[in-house]
Amino acid sequence: MSFKRKIILTLLIFVTTTLHAQQYAGKLKIEKLVDTTVNSIGQKITYPQFKDAKVTMAKITFPPGETTGWHKHLIPVFSYVLEGTLTVEIEGHQPAEYKKGASFVESYDTYHKGTNKGDTDVVLFVVYLGGDGQPLAVKK
């Protein structure tokens, strides 16, 4: 198995695991966060082929009123809302709201922007599957 595939497999097990806690020692609690073959706007999930694969994990904090600005991803991106409610506007689609505890697979090659319309911080945990110098996001 290639190194890239091992990284992707490891990440997918972490993010979308279907294993049950009894397969581990102790009293671990494993909750499935995402279990899908499509992203937030129904696009089939695919993984790009990179010579030098790279995984980036980030914690992103949106103060009240802050936005990402319009951008798109050319790589798979997985998000989990740690705090607050994020509003995501997507070109050609209805806006979506993701509250604390929500997980979603971001749209691919489609411009969108995330905004904190609340009065407390929104905090996301985000995983990007990229490589070969591909940017994490492309601004409009």
Write out pLDDT tens, residues 15-71. Answer: 544 444 456 778 888 889 999 999 999 999 999 999 999 999 999 999 999 999 999
Residue 48 CA to residue 76 CA, distance in Å, equals 8
State whether CATH 2.70.98.60 applies to domain 38-139: no
Strand, helix or coil at 136? Answer: coil
Rounded Cα–Cα distance for residues 77 and 127 (Å): 6
Average pLDDT over residues 77-94: 97
> Taking the model in full, what pTM does it have?
0.80
Domain locations in the chain as residue ranges? 38-139
Q: What percentage of the chain carries pLDDT values higher than 70?
A: 84
pLDDT-based confidence at residue 116 (cuts at 50, 70, 90) = very high
Report pLDDT for 128: 98
